[in-house]
Amino acid sequence: MNCNSIHTVLMAYPIDVIYLTKDMRITKLVKHIKPYRTSIDLSARHVLEVMQGSIDRLELRVGDQLDWIKRC
C-alpha cells in the first residue's frame, strides 16, 4: 500500500519520519515530530516512522537510497 503522509495523534513521544520513492530513495526527512502533528510529502510512495534521533544517528540525507537486507 502506498503512503505519503503520517499523523502522530495519540502518540506519547516524538518520532523521526523518512519519506521514500518507490525505489527507496529518500525524498524528505522530518526530525522530532511531536505528538498530535501531521506531515506529508506528495512525491513519496512510502513512509518510515523511526525512533527519534535515528535520522541523525544514521546520518541520512535526502537523495540517499535505502537497501533492505532480509535476515532469517
DSSP state of 45: S
User: Which pLDDT tens digit goes with each residue over 10-61?
Assistant: 999 999 999 999 999 999 999 999 999 999 999 999 999 999 999 999 999 9
DSSP letter assigned to residue 57: H
The backbone region for 51, taken as left when phi is positive above 0, alpha when psi lies in -120 to 50, beta otherwise, is beta
Q: Does residue 35 sit within a domain?
A: yes
**Helix, strand or coil, per DSSP, at residue 46:** strand
- Domain residues for the domain of 20 are 5-57
Q: How many domains does the chain have?
A: 1
Q: Among 64, 69, 67, 37, which residue's Cα sits nearest to residue 52?
A: 37
Whole-prediction pTM = 0.91
The per-residue pLDDT for 72 is 77
Q: What are phi and psi of 59, to 5 degrees?
A: 55, 45
Answer whether 62's CB lies under 8 Å from 26's CB.
yes
